[in-house]
Each structure stands twice: as structure tokens, then as C-alpha cells.
Structure 1
Amino acid sequence: MTRLKIVHTTSYLYNGGVARSYNEARLTPLSRDGQMVLENSVKVAPSSAAVGSYSDYWGTRVTTFDLQHWHEKMNVTATTTVEVDRSRPAPKADAVDWETLRSGEVTDACAEWLAPTRLTEIGDEVRAAVSHAAEGLWPADAAPAVMAWMRGEMKYVKGVTGVTTNAEQAWRQRTGVCQDLAHLGVGALRSLGIPARYVSGYIHPNPEAPVEETVAGQSHAWLEWWDGQWNSWDPTNHKPAGNLHVTVAAGRDYRDVSPLRGILSGGGGAAPQVTVAITRVA
């Protein structure tokens, strides 16, 4: 069991004044699959913001806020304490075969986890390679085989992609960050007919850090696939999500789970400054 405190701060200093803005933040971790949120708050400055919350279609906790007066900067700070224990996996469900995956019952229930999206789109080259990697295997073995194939083909490189880069573009470069690797993995699995979803959250980067030491953490992305039950995989670190992973949201791709987005009047543009501080408190 690991208990983590996460402070995620996003700051905007606009090039000009903003008359009004409407925003959504997906910064509250989920209580599910081996993790329990003990405390959470999302604070907005200026403090005059009108703040609300709701659960979206995917089950993500969304904080909404709007500012109806002139402002030149905005700050959003989400603070969470979460307990994570994935050391005791759930009882293994019976693995399904390809016929079951292709049945109407499964394709209807998992339609949103099977359809390609703009960000998970893959080309013929990836589709052929994935089909070859999975040849002769049951779905429960095919998915890890696809992840092993990806590990041999893709390199983690910062600064060469952006939030609009799709899986096919990342594949052509053979490089990307966690978001790109997750999109490529999701697209590859869906091409086989294996339901897959994109997961966003955090990862503590240093398992050797002592209790109470605060480190620079990271927003992170990985994926989950269904072969009779949901299984996680972090293609950046080549392993399932563990006690240093904290899940915030799951969706079809990044656009369903982006941490902060909104519309505003004025501003003249601004690049957000983001910091994530993580402390292992137990």
C-alpha cells in the first residue's frame, strides 16, 4: 500500500486581459481499481470564480468554473491524497476467445472502446504488424504480445509530438511521449477487436524516494484492455499500473480526459505553466 499526496498547479498569465472564461478541470482521481481518494480539493484564483462539479459520461469527476469579470491571470490548484494498493489483484476472470469478442453482446457493450478515433487512428503498416504479432494467440495473450512488439519499435522522446499528434503520426516518427504510446497501443488493440481505453493520471517517478520527500511528479498516460476483465498496461514503463500510478480518468483518447480546457473572451493567448508535486506520505 502507498499513500500519495499530489499537488497539480496550472497557471496562466495572459498576454492581454480576459473579459470572461468558462472552464472544465479533470483533476480529481477516481476511487476504483485499487485506489481510494482520501481528500481532494480544486481551488481557483481569482477566488471569485463560480465553481461546480459533476460526473461526466465516462465517470470522471469534473470541476467546472467560470470567471465573469476582467482578469489577466488564472491559477488552478488540485490537491489530492490517495491510497493505492494494487498488490492484491482481482480474481482472474475466464479469458474470452475471439468468437466471444466478436459477438454482438460484446461489440455492443464495448462499442466505444472498439471504434477508432482521430487520435488512435493507425495505418495499414501498423495493422499488418499487429495482426502478425497476435497470430495464433488468444486475446489474453495477444494483447501482451502487441505491447511487446510496440516496445521494440517505439522510443520515448520528449518534444517531438503535441496533444494533436495521432497514433499514425507518432508511428511514422517511431517516437513520442506517454500520450502517443498509449494512443498507438489503444489503436493497435482495437484493430484486432480487443476493447481498449486511454487512461490519464499521475505517476510517482522515484520508487526509492523516502516517505515525506516531495518530488517533481508527472501527469501520465497508459491504457487498459478487456479480455474478460480489464487489464492495465503502461507502455512507457513496460509494466502494469502499480502502486505509484494514480488514475484520474479513462476515455476513448486524450480528448475525453484532458486535465484542463475552456473557452474565453480576450486574453491574446497564453502558454500554461504546469507543475506536479508528489509526496509519498505512507
Structure 2
Amino acid sequence: MRVQHKSGFDYAGAVSSSYNEARMWPRNETHQAVLDARVEVWPPARTYRYEDYWGTVVTAFDVHARHEALTVTATSTVETLPPGDLIEPGEGASWADLARPESVDRWYELLLSSPRTVMNEELSSIAADIRAAHATPHAAALAVCEFVRGEVTYQPGSTGVQSDAVHAWKQRKGVCQDISHLTVGLLREMGLPARYVSGYLHPSSAAAIGDSIVGQSHAWVQWWVGRWTAFDPTNGIPVGERHVVVGRGREYGDVPPLKGVYAGPGSTGQDVEVTITRLR
């Protein structure tokens, strides 16, 4: 697939300088290969890349020319694969395995609640009930995904980037980010190391080759049961060839596509446009 992700900010007046980070560069890993990638900035600026603490590729840049708008365009060609070797519900690490001190120490950061994944008393009780009903962590994790998808309606525009899992739960609606935050929170509450994954999803499983479709930034989850396994709770499917991974972390705050600070008048809004083309 070819993915073009255009994002940026409009300002109420001239900005004298800005300092920015873009996380739009897909990862090279087992189920996907990045054949080509570039990130372009307007106004023009020198960029440099590095991997952050969580292993996400960051394109950093400063703009010191006066500007009233900032645009970042990331274009990549990525080869993806189907889900492949899936774990059966009764397989994977046991509850005892996950409770061992060496396992807890290894994944400690991914067992703790973060601001957007913290649970309330009701959700903690639900997590305990789901855990008690399943013999293996992996079966419980799949049950959490099914539960969240059944209880929370996907509704674009119902929340913002600052929303947390409890907010989405109380209103029973949200976007993929909220559904993933809620799923990750429940998994951690049960004692499963869990990660929030940011990337892209091709919206059509039957897309014609060469057709460009308006796609979307997307979020899903991973949990560790002896190895990492990925699932898309918003759509109720394993992560496969329609998904493109960009970054992973504890929550959205670790992997925002574009963030920065600037000197000047307030921002009047952020524009986001994602176009995805199936190449073969």
C-alpha cells in the first residue's frame, strides 16, 4: 500500500518559530516492510530522525521563518502480510507465568495505568469478572475485545484526543483511540502487559488495485502472552494486511502523529488527511 498522511496547523497570525515532532514513519518489522518513506515539511525545514524510547521513528524539525500555517506530509510505500501465526484461545502464557516476578519486572511499564487508560471501580470489577471466567490470559484478552466492541459504539467525532477510557465507557461511544484505551486499561487491570498501537487502516477489504481511498489514522492493541499478539477491537479482527504500524506505547500520548510548541498567536485548528492506495 501507499499511504499519504498530511497534517498541520493553521494559526491566527504569524508564528515566529516552532519546534515539532512527527510520528508518521511506518516501522520495519515481521509483518510489514517499508519500501520507501519520506516526510516533507512546509515551510521548508531541515529534519532529522531518531527512534524514541518506545521504538517509534520520530521526524523532528524546527521552523524559524515566520509562518501562518504548518504542513507535514508523510508518504510511504509499505508491504504488509496477513495475520499469519495466530495464538489459539487456550494457548500462550498462563496466569501464573504472567504473575512471576521476572515477567512483572520485564513489562512493568506496560502493566501500569496511564492517564488515558486508568480504570474506575466499575471497570476494575468487570476486568476481575472476565479474568475469573477464562482459564488463559489470551482467552481473557479476546473476551475483553469482544466485550468492549459490544458495549462501546464507534462514533466519529464523539470524543477528542484528550478523552480517556472512563469517559468513553460512561457515554458508551467513542473512536478507535477510545476503544483501544479502554481495551488496554482492562487488559492491564487483569495483569496482562498491553500496548497501544498507532498506524493506518485501509478501509476496504475489496479495494481495487490502483484506487486511492480516503483512509484514516487508526489505533489498536497488543498484549503479551509469551509473545506479542495484535488485535483490532474497533473492527473485531486480528491485525493483518490492511493495517500499517507506525508506533507503539502506553497510550496515545506516546505516539501522537504531530506535536510541537511554538511562539505566536493561537492555533485555529488542525487539518488531517490520509489517502491510502492498494498497489498490488
What is the TM-score with the length of structure 1 in the denominator? 0.95
Task: Say if 2:260 is the partner of 1:262.
Answer: yes
Partner of 1:112, secondary structure, is: helix
Query: Unmatched 5+ residue regions in structure 2?
Result: none
* Equivalences for residues 184-199 of structure 1 within 5 A: 184-199=182-197
Residue of structure 1 aligned with 2:115, choices 112, 118, 121: 118
* Structure 2 residue aligned with 1:132: 129
Partner of 1:42, secondary structure, is: strand
CA apart distance, 1:176: 0.4
* Structure 1 residue aligned with 2:37: 40
Partners of 1:194 and 1:148 lie apart in 2 by 16
* Structure 1 residue aligned with 2:223: 225
Out of 17-26 and 62-71, give the one that drifted further: 62-71
Aligned residues: 278
1:163-184 Cα distance to aligned partner (Å, 9 max, x none): 1111011111111000000000
* Equivalences for residues 96-175 of structure 1 within 5 A: 96-137=93-134, 138-175=136-173
Partners of 1:237 and 1:269 lie apart in 2 by 33
Matched to 2:69, the amino acid is K
1:4-27 Cα distance to aligned partner (Å, 9 max, x none): 000101132211100000000000
Partner of 2:53, secondary structure, is: coil
CA apart distance, 1:72: 1.3
Partners of 2:52 and 2:235 lie apart in 1 by 29
Whether contact under 8 Å (1:134, 1:145) holds in the other structure is no
Task: Say if 2:69 is the partner of 1:64.
Answer: no
Query: Unmatched 5+ residue regions in structure 1?
Result: none
Partners of 2:139 and 2:70 lie apart in 1 by 47
1:172-220 Cα distance to aligned partner (Å, 9 max, x none): 1111000000000000000000110000000000111100000001000
Task: Say if 2:251 is the partner of 1:253.
Answer: yes
* Structure 2 residue aligned with 1:30: 27
* Structure 2 residue aligned with 1:16: 13
Partners of 1:147 and 1:12 lie apart in 2 by 34
Report the identity percentage. 43
Out of 86-95 and 112-121, give the one that drifted further: 86-95
Residue of structure 2 aligned with 1:78, choices 74, 80, 101: 74
Partners of 2:264 and 2:119 lie apart in 1 by 37
Matched to 1:66, the amino acid is D
Partner of 1:28, secondary structure, is: coil
Partner of 2:238, secondary structure, is: coil
Partners of 2:7 and 2:144 lie apart in 1 by 35
Partners of 1:207 and 1:143 lie apart in 2 by 25
Residue of structure 2 aligned with 1:88, choices 66, 84, 89: 84
Partners of 2:250 and 2:186 lie apart in 1 by 13
Partners of 2:235 and 2:185 lie apart in 1 by 19
After superposing on structure 2, the runs of 4+ consecutive aligned residues of structure 1 that deviate more than 6 Å are 90-94
Partners of 2:216 and 2:119 lie apart in 1 by 27
Partners of 1:122 and 1:130 lie apart in 2 by 10
Out of 201-210 and 141-150, give the one that drifted further: 141-150
CA apart distance, 1:136: 4.0
Matched to 1:99, the amino acid is A
Whether contact under 8 Å (1:134, 1:146) holds in the other structure is no
Whether contact under 8 Å (2:83, 2:239) holds in the other structure is no
Instruction: Give the direction of change, closer, same or farther, for the CA distance of 1:91–1:234 in structure 2 (3 Å limit).
Output: closer
What is the TM-score with the length of structure 2 in the denominator? 0.96
Partners of 2:57 and 2:8 lie apart in 1 by 21
CA apart distance, 1:50: 2.3
CA apart distance, 1:100: 1.3
* Structure 2 residue aligned with 1:182: 180
Partners of 2:176 and 2:273 lie apart in 1 by 17
